[in-house]
Amino acid sequence: MNSQSSDQVIYLACWDEKTYPLKFYRVNAADLSRHVGLWRTIIVRFALFRLKMLGITLFPFVIVRGDDPVAGIILESGGSSSLMRHEFVHLLQQWKTGRTRFYFCYLWNWMKEFFKRRNWLEAYLHVQYEVEARDLASKPLHFQKLLKECGVISKKKSSV
Ligand SMILES: [Zn+2]
């Protein structure tokens, strides 16, 4: 979109097996479409650089902004953080619901909340999938239970 955003570093993970945590790789925002395709790149750029979101999950990819070096080290080492748990919940939501249905329900929910609240950010925070992701990300034991229910194998015991 603009030259500034194309120089940015982002972290990318692809969930290709039923394991946790995700393995993130540093990639240049300019090269993103080679990894995730064009339409996902457009959505990611809009979400991370325009809306300033910290991360976005477009199954099977999780993409996180790379402007925090400490967060980057945690992601690259496969460590757990609240943000990673949050995005992982979104992965599981999309996996369970199906991508198309998930996106439809998500957008429908967001619009419904917007007409109630008349504020896009407020509405976004009240989307049911976001409420669930925030809730589970802040409760590691509940998060662990969800992983078990979904048959996700933890690579490390300490990772959750
Ligand atoms: Zn979210």
Ligand 1 centroid–CA 19 distance in Å is: 20
Q: In which residue ranges of the chain is pLDDT below 50?
A: 1-3, 6
Contacts of 34 (CB under 8 A, 6+ apart): none
pLDDT score at 1: 46
Ligand 1 centroid–CA 67 distance in Å is: 18
Would you mind telling me the total number of residues written for the chain in this entry? 160
Ligand 1 centroid–CA 134 distance in Å is: 7
Ligand 1 centroid–CA 28 distance in Å is: 22
pLDDT score at 5: 52
Residue that the structure tokens 């239970």 belong to: 145
- The pTM assigned to this predicted structure is 0.88
pLDDT score at 67: 82
**Residue 87 near residue 55 (C-beta atoms within 8 A):** yes
